[in-house]
Structure formats: structure tokens, C-alpha cells
Amino acid sequence: MIPVRGFDGATVVVLGLGRSGLTAARALRAGGAHVLAWDDGAKGREAAEAEGFEVRNPTQPGALDGVTTLVTSPGIPHLYPAPHPAIAAALAAGVAVDNDIGLFFRSLGWGDSVPRVVAITGSNGKSTTSALLHHVLTQAGRRAHLAGNIGRGVLDLDPPGTDDVIVLELSSYQTELARSLTPDVAVFTNLTPDHLDRHGGYGGYFAAKRRLFAEGGPDRAIIGVDEPEGLFLAGQMQEALVDDRVIRVSLGKLSGPGWLVTARKGWLAETRKGRQVASVDLRDIPGLPGRHNHQNACCAWAAARALGLAPREIEAGLRSYPGLPHRSQRIAERGGVTYVNDSKATNVDAAAQALQAFDRIRWICGGLQKDGGLAALHPHLARVARAYVIGREAQAFALALGPDVETDICTDMATAVARAAADSGPGETVLLAPAAASFDQYDSFERRGEDFVACVAALGAD
């Protein structure tokens, strides 16, 4: 555990006692703070009491007297669509609001050991980029830790050494509120619409991501520039025509004398001062299928280069990367048919990227639709032989796909997998890429992916 510094003797409220919240409470107490804990659920309050924390409802009169800071879990809204009552009370009382990411960065400079930190955000690909970078570093013999929105809660890490590298995946929920954001390397993968209700629209969503670069000023900024927001952010960070503090990443053609990492037609290329210095053929790397994973590889490559790794070390790590569960995960091949679990494709853009990665697709899709509809998928449906639609509103989802794709209303995963397997032939891919949230049928995208894996495994038992 990393003790939180700067709160010795202070009274701090921790709101939300899930994984990150309870860990934050322990880390604050280890740093000398007096911790008051609250969760809207009785189970969370009971867990805190069992560990000796004082439980207090911060919305009660006088409950915030003497409190310096309220630390909230990332899933709790603090502004849009409306602040949680406890956060509203804290703001009205002049109590600072922070989260565990802010506490982590605040605590880094208190010891003799100061690790390097790479923080990765973006709409899609940040989990794979984070896991891929962590894998590349460990394969190269570097001591690396994976935390944040993936792996362990950041304050749950053992105190790191000076030679360590901490790789953080950060969601917009985390970057939006953290009062301290000072990574050595910051990565912005891309931006597509997501969580718009939480951020008050697309501009608010981008602003939440941008804070990672604006608050502390990273030594190196790695920015995907294929969307206007990324191009704008790179322009803001760059201070000269040749500025090695900014590495631009693209799936298209980039020019200029700056530091560039691109992937075109499956080839990754690194260019500096107008000269190519390294290239890798990504097309035969099984753990990184498709253009979206090629972008992830570019971001991880750039971060590893910023940390001083040689191209040959990075290429070896890319080639040995096994992939992440639920993210373009090849789980089986039977009778020439490949089964791929991309349950993390919870929005339209992520699903579109998955559809571009394979030919002749039997597509399992559906769930709780997000704002914006499914129109952005239409240009990518030519590769779909048939869509097998799951979810409580499968009929409406199928209609939204339009008349150009043949659909099969399956509703549940077992039916979808069985029908897709029966229809498929050699050379085809049965792909779970839902383009929707899971909460109509599952409590997480992980549970949905696990159900898919189990249904595919059951095929072999018949």
C-alpha cells in the first residue's frame, strides 16, 4: 500500500467503499489521516466498520464540520447529470473534493524513491495500450506495475522504487476530478462519443481527458491525432516545429520534422526529424489484430521509446503479447472457424474497429444502446454475414442496424453462440462485439464476455 501523504491529523471523508474507495481509506489512515467512511449501500458501510473506520453520513447536519477533503470513487457523479448529495454538501461547505488518483500523485514526491509514471487515457484502446506497455516493459526486464482503471487500485500498490515504472489506465471519470495529475508520460489514444451524460456533452468529455495534459504538464505527451480533438491537443502541447516532448500517433500518413509513430497497412513506422528510424510488420502478431490494435501498438511503442527502450526490445514485447481478456481475444478455433471475444466493445466506435479487423463475420451484438444510435456502424457491415442480436431490446437493436444486414433475434448469449456456430463455415469469425453496454443482462462487460467464452466452450462438449 502507498500511504497518502499531506493529511496527517486531518479529517477526510471517503465516499463510496468499493475497491478504490476502501483502499483509499486504508491508505489515508496509513498516512495519519482521520477517516470518515460512507457508502449508500449497507454492505459497503459494514465492510468499513469491520476494518475500524468511523461511518458517518456526510449529508447530515454538521457531518462535514472540520473535514478538509472528501475523496470520492470515480463512478459517483460530482457535476453532471447531477452531483451526488454528499458531494453537493461538500462543495457547498467549501470542502475540497478529490479521488484516489489525485491522492496518488500528491503522495509521489514524499519519499526518496520517485518512480516514473505513464498515464494513458482515451475513449478506446486505453486498456490494451496500458496492458501492452506493461508487458513490453516487463519483457524488457523493467520493473513495472499496472494500475488505475485496470489491474490494481493505484493506492494498493506496494511503495515503488526509483527505477520502477507505474502504468496507469485512467478513465475520464478519474482525470476529470483528480486535483493532482503529474505523470512523466501522458498518452491520449483517441476520442469518440461516450459517457456524454456524465460530462455534460462532447466538449465536457474532451475537457475531462485534456486535464491529464493541462494540469501538470507531462515531460512527454503521446497523442493520437486522427480526430480533431487530438490534433488540437497536440498543437497546444507543441511549442516549436521540432519538439520532442510531443509524439504524434496516427493510422494515416503524417509528415513534418517532429516525432511521429504511424501504422499504415499494418506497418508501424517511427520517424524523427523526417527520417524513419524503425519499422515493424504488425500484421502477423496474433495478439494485436486489426487497425485499432495497430493504433494501440503505436501508442505503446511511443511510450516505451519515451522511457528509453530500444526498438528491438519493444518489437519482442509486441510479438509475445498474449492479448487482454474481452478485447479482441481469440478464444477458440473449431472447424476452421475462429471465435473472438471483444465484449469490451461497448460503444459503436469500438465495435466498428472490431468489425474492420476480420473478414466474413458472424456477429453477436446487442445490449443497452448508448446515445447516438448505430448509424456509424453501417459503413462497416459489409463484412457481416449475419448479426445475432442479444439483449432485452434485441428487436429494436436489429431494426437500428438497417436493411442491409441479415439479423437473427436471439436475445440470450447461448442461443446466439449456438446459431452462429451452426451457420458458420471455414474461414469465418464468430465475433462478440456488442456495440452496447451490458447492464440489461449482465453486471459488467466482463461477465458478458465470460458467458460468451463458456458458451463457446460448451460447443466442444456436445
Could you list the residues known to form a binding site for ATP, using ranges: 122-128
- Cβ within 8 Å of residue 113, ≥6 positions away: 159, 160, 161, 162, 164
- Cβ within 8 Å of residue 198, ≥6 positions away: 77, 80, 81, 172, 173, 205
What type of residue sits at position 56?
Answer: R
How many residues would you count in the chain? 462
Assess whether pLDDT exceeds 70 at residue 462: no
What are 159-207's pLDDT values in tens digits?
A: 998 899 999 999 999 999 999 999 999 999 999 888 889 999 999 999 9
CATH of domain 329-461: 3.90.190.20
Q: How confident is the model at residue 325 (pLDDT cuts 50, 70, 90)?
A: confident
Distance between CA atoms of residues 424 and 360, nearest Å: 9
What are 239-248's pLDDT values in tens digits?
A: 988 889 999 9
Predicted confidence at residue 323, as pLDDT, reads 84
- What average pLDDT score do residues 363-379 get? 90
Superfamily of domain 11-98 in CATH is NAD(P)-binding Rossmann-like Domain (3.40.50.720)
Q: Where in the chain are all domains bearing CATH 3.90.190.20?
A: 329-461
Q: Is the Cα dihedral 258, 263, 264, 268 positive or negative?
A: positive
Q: Where in the chain are all domains bearing CATH 3.40.50.720?
A: 11-98
Assess whether pLDDT exceeds 70 at residue 395: yes
Run of H or E residues at 304: helix 291-306
- Closest by alpha carbon to 297, among 98, 70, 133, 88? 133
**Alpha carbon distances (Å) from 401 to 277, 292, 373:** 44, 22, 9
Could you list the residues known to form a binding site, using ranges: 122-128
Q: Where in the chain are all domains bearing CATH 3.40.1190.10?
A: 105-319
CATH of domain 105-319: 3.40.1190.10
Predicted confidence at residue 328, as pLDDT, reads 86
**Alpha carbon distances (Å) from 206 to 47, 74, 105:** 36, 17, 22
Among the listed ranges 97-106, 366-375, 435-444, which one has the minimum average pLDDT value? Answer: 366-375
Predicted confidence at residue 112, as pLDDT, reads 67
pLDDT, mean over the chain: 94
